[in-house]
Amino acid sequence: TVRRKKSISIEEKIDIISAVESGKKKADIAAKYGIKKNSLSSIMKNKEKVLEAFETLRFDPKRKRLRTAFYADLEEALMKWYRIAQCLKVPVNGPMLRLKANDFAQKLGHSDFKCSNGWLDRFKSRYGLVFRAQPVEAAATTTVDAPTLWYQNVLPYYLNDYQPKNVFHIQETGLLYQMLPHNTFAFKGETCSVGKLSKERITVVVGTNMDGSEKLPLLVIGKNRSPRSFKDVKSLPVDYEANDRAWMTPEVFEQWMHKLDVRFQAQQRQVVILVDPLAAHTEVKNLKSIKLVFFPPDSSSCIAMKQGVIRSLKVKYRHCLIKRFVDCVEGNKEFTLTLLDAIEMLNLCWREVTPQTIVKSYNGAGFKLETETNGNDKEVESALDLIAHAQAAGVEFPEGLSLEEYAALDDDLVTDEVPTNNGMMCAKESVSDKAGTFFGDEDEDEDENEGDQFQGAEQALPSKNEALSALDTLRKFLRSQDTDDCLYDSLDDLENFI
């Protein structure tokens, strides 16, 4: 009799790969799962495909074969829609899937496709989808343990195959860049996507590597592609994009990924970039140096990173904003803050976020990087000293509001778009949406350039002679200080550039 070849599920293959990676003997592993050594070798040879299938939840973990469907693009679109519905806790059933499948087929140009009962059954079997007539909270799904399995099996694979300096994580946050302490009562809990407040909001995207040795240039998304403060500006210290809502969109995300890919190609590096599972974060094709990996839905790592790197950046930014305002008050000058000013302040604060803060964020997110870090992440002034100084200068700082709480007031701002059931894009609602309580929409049609209150009068560009004179002033100041020689080198570089 011919011995029948044993079939191994994807979930079991993941366990086998993990066992081999951990250094266990292949003979013992093969014996445990009842397979031959050449079968184990085949699994290891195809580990990229197995891990990718499990990582993207393209297949049921209990499934034994990785055969793909004829309408692969349709199935990919349908599964993305299904995962978004899961994230939004929207109940999905067979008739809804059939309707969306036919809709996607029409949009993708598959005129010969019709979602029959047989095709739908095979699709549900391929992806392990089970629908039962019971409350949504109790509905059975085969991917309940998927996030846990992802952290146990998929993430370690990337951490083993990539050095910490080549493992990156990116996240976005909303920022009300002109928000002073005495304005905070009107901002807390706002979604801020329409009305007066939305004119001074931006989305900031941050990216760091795992060992804290590299910070990606900030990506700032505003509402106006050519704000008045950008006049005659030919370069910025950050990447800048714009759309009507100042949100991350699939188009902006794809364009930024390709720009980063060119950067890493020039450095001859292969990196992995971990991103949150948001609708705006889509698969990006033709990346040569970047492996894009998505966290599972409701990932605790995303929260831990926001409470680390992003919080540090925001605290430093608010610190600079208050100091700038206090300096104007004490100097009897009008306070002005343009979008360009905010971008330059953000870039300065981003440079001050320390490797220690970054490594701590990754460790808090469960990466457990074994790296010794020296020094402390210190502010120029303590938060209490700054608040006391601001209050002494007449800044209305709400009683009991700490600098960290002040920095976190805009954490719930909308930063990306989410598809609704009718295919349109809308904002994610925050817990409390009170925009209409404080502000109306009577100024909705006014020019975007007027949205920057505190804009100030336009200033003429300095001439070369004025720039050189300013450098001389800086040199005189440095001579009076106990400072590093590298600052003089920087001034020399500036003079050569001018």
Neighbours of 256 (CB within 10 A): 21
Fold of 72-127: Arc Repressor Mutant, subunit A (1.10.10)
Phi, then psi, of 170 in degrees rounded to 5: -120, 150
pLDDT of residue 89: 63
Give the contacts of 258 (CB within 8 A, at least 6 positions apart): 284, 286, 287
| Predicted local distance difference test score (pLDDT) of residue 382 | 56
Say if 72-127 and 152-181+198-369+384-408 have the same CATH topology: no
Helices and strands per DSSP (H, E), number in the chain: 19, 8
What is the C-alpha separation between 315 and 300, in angstroms, rounded? Answer: 22
Separation between Cα atoms, residue 186 and residue 371, nearest integer Å: 43
pTM for this one? 0.62
Domain ranges of the chain: 10-56, 72-127, 152-181+198-369+384-408, 465-497
Task: Name the residue with tokens 């807390």.
Answer: 188
What is the helix (H) or strand (E) element at residue 100, kind and residue range?
A: helix 94-107
Q: Could you tell me if 425 and 417 are in contact, meaning their C-beta atoms sit under 8 angstroms apart?
A: yes
pLDDT score for 348: 92
Question: How many angstroms separate the CA atoms of 117 and 495, rounded?
Answer: 73
Question: pLDDT truncated to tens, each residue of the chain (498 aa)?
Answer: 445 556 677 678 878 888 888 888 888 888 888 888 888 888 888 877 776 665 554 444 444 444 444 677 888 888 878 877 766 566 777 777 888 888 888 888 888 888 888 888 878 877 767 665 444 444 444 444 456 667 777 788 788 888 999 999 999 999 999 888 765 544 444 444 444 444 589 999 999 999 999 999 999 999 998 888 888 888 899 999 999 889 999 999 999 999 999 999 999 999 999 998 888 888 898 999 999 988 877 666 666 667 789 999 998 998 888 888 888 888 888 888 999 999 999 999 999 999 999 998 888 777 776 554 444 445 434 566 667 777 776 666 666 677 778 788 888 787 876 554 444 444 443 323 323 222 233 343 344 444 454 455 556 777 777 777 887 788 778 777 777 677 767 777 777 777
Task: Give the model's pLDDT for residue 111.
Answer: 82
The answer to whether domain 152-181+198-369+384-408 has CATH 3.30.420 is: yes
> What's the pLDDT score for residue 410?
83
- Residue 196: CB atoms within 10 Å: 19
The single residue listed with the structure tokens 């009718």 is 422
Q: Count CB-CB contacts under 10 A for residue 232.
A: 7
